[in-house]
Every structure is written in structure tokens, then in C-alpha cells.
């Protein structure tokens, strides 16, 4: 929008919210369509960012069949749309295509270690087949595709009930609740601030590089360390940190090798973890003061969830 493009946002509001884009309502270049891409979509576009799919593990596991449909049927519909209108399409893939990786850090050349029948498979295998579809349409139908493998990302406008580690830990720290580390906390993650990721997606879309690209921040921490980082960033926080049962198939180590992005897109993250977390903590503090958005039951639209 800020570059002057006309933007059509398509969302089924399963995990997205109108509120996240309401500052654009009424702008002449902005249009919003309430639609689920599991069904065909007929619009005109020059570029398509296919970002649909729940991304938080508790959300994508809640209705695994729907997650698979979104990443398979939804991706076929978006690739079909790209073919019909001659648009370039960027597919949002994930670090989860590497599964619980046996190679560290993860380069794009690594084929991954995914349990095809585990609780994460709906997402991991869904995204893997989305990549396969992208390159099949590129080869057979000459669709112009870009594939971003997005690593853990966070920032303002995440929902307080998102369920991923950043929002959980911040919400717990702000309310002096126990910070819940799953497992022994020795598993690692590398967190990328949302604006860095958006810069990466725009740069990839504009580039001539057509193979998958890791987009993420290579600064790696254990989840145990991460809990302490957040606790220390919230002034006066009295939370304690607990460890508990491990999550089934939880990847144990994750850090992006971003050499491909650096060489081909001249992209690397700019926002430090401290700065990004501080902005995110400020956002959640503000959210906590809005009691109307704390009602969990309005979050996941049960009608969408039945499809
Ligand atoms: O309250 C919590 C939440 C999560 N965790 C742990 O924190 C780590 C990160 O968990 P998250 O749920 O934030 O995210 P995950 O890394 O498991 O998955 C994410 O990975 C990358 C994205 O592409 C995906 O959209 C998302 O699935 C995991 O080890 C998890 O077990 C906690 O210890 N406590």
C-alpha cells in the first residue's frame, strides 16, 4: 500500500482479524474480501502473496484436515489463479519443511526429517506439497513462482491467544503468571521480527531468484534462555519459569542458514531481538488493557472451522 499498489486482502478470518488492517479501510487502493481459498477465487492481480494457513502449532493441529486442505486445495486454487491472470506468485513455506532437523543450521539444500503421520504432519507435509505444487506449476504451466521458507516470526498484531512461544511468554510475564516452558527448554529457536520478514518477502517477490529461500533471523537461543530474556525485559516481572511435558515431535534445534538470501536478495534481518521484543511487549501491554479482545471464544471462528 505504501508503494502505491492496489491491494486486495483475502481472509477467511480463521486466525486473522479485520482489526489488523482496519487502518486501511476506506483507502481507495484497498479492498478486503471475506473468502476461504479452499474455494476458487476470481480476481485480477499482477502479484499474489499466498500466505493463507494457520501457522501456530495449536491452531494448525486443532483441525488438521482443514490445514491440509488450505495448503493443498488452497495452493492449487492460488496457482490456478496465477496461471489464469499471468501473475507472479509467492508461496509462504516454512522452516517446518525441515522437520526435526538432522542438519544444523538448515540450508535450503537440506531435504528435511519429517514424521509424515505425526501431529505436525498436516502443516509440515501440507507446506512440503505446496512447494511441490509450486514447482510443478512452474514447470508444466510456466507459472512464475517464488518460495519463502519462513522461520519463527513475531511482532505486534499477533493475537494474545496465538499460542506460539513469543505471545505466550510475553502474556505470562506481563501478568506475573508462570512462564510455561514445554519440555526441558533445551530446544532452540531463532526469532525474526515481522518487519524484517516483510522486507524479505517483498525483496524475494521482486527478485529473479526462483528456488526456495530461507527467511529468518539466525540468532539462536534455547527456549529456557528465551524465557529469561522476556522476563528480564518486563520491568518488575515476578513470574517464575516452569518446565513441563515435552511436545510430541517438537523440533530440537532450529536456525536458518541465510547465505542464499544474503547472496541473491542482499537481505538480512536488521531488528535485534531486544528491540523487536520490546516493541512486541509494548503492543501486548496495550492489548491487555482492551478487555474485549481477551475473549478466547470469539477468536477461532467455529463456522470456518467446520469446513
Ligand atoms: O508456551 C509455550 C509455547 C511454546 N513453547 C516451545 O517453544 C518452541 C517454539 O514454539 P512455537 O509454538 O512458537 O513455534 P514452533 O517453532 O514449534 O513452530 C513454528 O515454527 C515456524 C513457523 O513456520 C511455524 O508457523 C510454527 O509452526 C517450541 O519448542 C515449543 O515447544 C514453550 O516452551 N512454551
**Averages of pLDDT over each 10 residues, the chain, 307 residues:** 94 94 95 98 98 96 97 98 98 98 98 98 98 99 99 97 97 98 98 98 98 98 98 98 97 98 98 98 94 50 46
Spell out where 95-218 has E strands.
145-150, 153-154, 179-181, 188-190, 192-193, 213-215
Spatial separation of the C-alpha atoms in residues 249 and 80, rounded to whole Å: 33
Whether 246 is in the pocket of ligand 1, judged by its Cβ within 6 Å, is no
- Residue 118 has which C-alpha cell? 505425526
- Describe the crossing of helices 64-85 and 121-141 by its angle, rounded to 10 degrees: 20
- Phi, psi angles (nearest 5°) of residue 5: -75, 150
Q: Which atom of ligand 1 is found nearest the CA of 169? A: 1
Compute, in angstroms, the gap from residue 122 CA to the centroid of ligand 1: 15
Compute, in angstroms, the gap from residue 167 CA to the centroid of ligand 1: 10
- Please report the domains of the chain, with CATH numbers, ordered by start residue: 7-305 (3.40.50.720)
Question: Cβ distance 78 to 51 under 8 Å?
Answer: no
Which residue's entry shows cell 529468518?
216
Whether 247 is in the pocket of ligand 1, judged by its Cβ within 6 Å, is yes
Whether 168 is in the pocket of ligand 1, judged by its Cβ within 6 Å, is yes
Spatial separation of the C-alpha atoms in residues 64 and 70, rounded to whole Å: 10
Q: Which atom of ligand 1 is found nearest the CA of 60? A: 27
| SS3 label, residue 223 | helix
Question: Cβ distance 98 to 104 under 8 Å?
Answer: no
- Residue 125 has which C-alpha cell? 507435509
Would you call 123 a catalytic residue per the annotation? yes
What residue's CA is closest to ligand 1, atom 20?
Answer: 152
Catalytic site residue from 49, 60, 98, 123: 123
Q: Calculate the alpha carbon distances from 79 to 10, 16, 90, 94 in Å.
A: 15, 22, 10, 18
| SS3 label, residue 11 | strand
Whether 57 is in the pocket of ligand 1, judged by its Cβ within 6 Å, is yes
Local structure of residue 228 (DSSP, 8 states):
H
Whether 250 is in the pocket of ligand 1, judged by its Cβ within 6 Å, is yes
Whether 48 is in the pocket of ligand 1, judged by its Cβ within 6 Å, is no
| pLDDT confidence of residue 1 | 87
HSE-CB of 218 using CA atoms within 13 angstroms: 14
Amino acid at each position: 500500500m505504501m508503494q502505491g499498489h492496489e491491494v486486495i486482502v483475502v481472509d477467511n478470518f480463521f486466525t486473522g482479524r479485520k482489526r489488523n488492517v482496519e487502518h486501511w479501510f476506506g483507502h481507495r487502493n484497498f479492498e478486503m474480501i471475506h473468502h476461504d481459498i479452499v474455494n476458487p477465487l476470481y480476481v485480477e492481480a499482477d502479484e499474489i502473496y499466498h500466505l493463507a494457513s494457520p501457522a501456530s502449532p495449536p491452531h494448525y493441529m486443532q483441525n488438521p484436515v482443514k490445514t491440509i486442505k488450505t495448503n493443498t486445495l488452497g495452493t492449487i486454487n492460488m496457482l490456478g489463479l496465477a496461471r489464469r491472470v499471468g501473475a507472479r506468485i509467492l508461496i509462504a513455506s516454512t522452516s517446518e519443511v525441515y522437520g526435526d532437523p538432522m542438519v544444523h543450521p538448515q540450508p535450503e539444500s537440506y531435504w528435511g526429517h519429517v514424521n509424515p503421520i505425526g501431529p505436525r504432519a498436516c502443516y509440515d507435509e501440507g507446506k512440503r506439497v505446496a512447494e511441490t505444487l509450486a514447482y510443478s506449476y512452474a514447470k508444466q504451466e510456466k507459472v512464475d513462482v517464488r518460495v519463502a521458507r519462513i522461520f519463527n516470526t513475531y511482532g505486534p498484531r499477533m493475537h494474545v491467544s496465538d499460542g506460539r512461544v513469543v505471545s505466550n511468554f510475553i502474556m505470562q510475564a506481563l501478568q506475573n503468571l508462570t512462564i510455561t516452558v514445554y519440555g526441558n527448554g533445551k530446544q532452540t529457536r531463532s526469532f525474526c521480527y515481522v518487519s524484517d520478514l516483510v522486507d524479505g518477502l517483498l525483496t524475494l517477490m521482486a527478485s529473479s531468484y526462483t528456488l526456495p529461500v530461507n527467511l529468518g533471523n539466525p540468532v539462536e537461543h534455547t527456549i529456557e534462555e528465551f524465557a529469561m530474556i522476556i522476563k528480564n525485559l518486563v520491568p518488575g516481572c515476578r513470574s517464575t519459569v516452569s518446565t513441563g511435558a515435552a511436545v510430541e515431535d517438537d523440533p530440537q534445534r532450529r536456525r536458518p542458514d541465510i547465505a542464499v538470501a544474503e547472496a541473491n536478495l542482499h537481505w538480512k534481518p536488521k531488528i535485534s531481538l531486544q528491540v523487536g521484543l520490546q516493541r512486541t511487549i509494548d503492543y501486548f501491554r496495550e492489548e491487555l488493557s482492551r478487555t474485549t479482545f481477551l475473549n478466547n471464544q470469539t477468536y477461532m471462528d467455529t463456522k470456518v472451522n467446520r469446513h
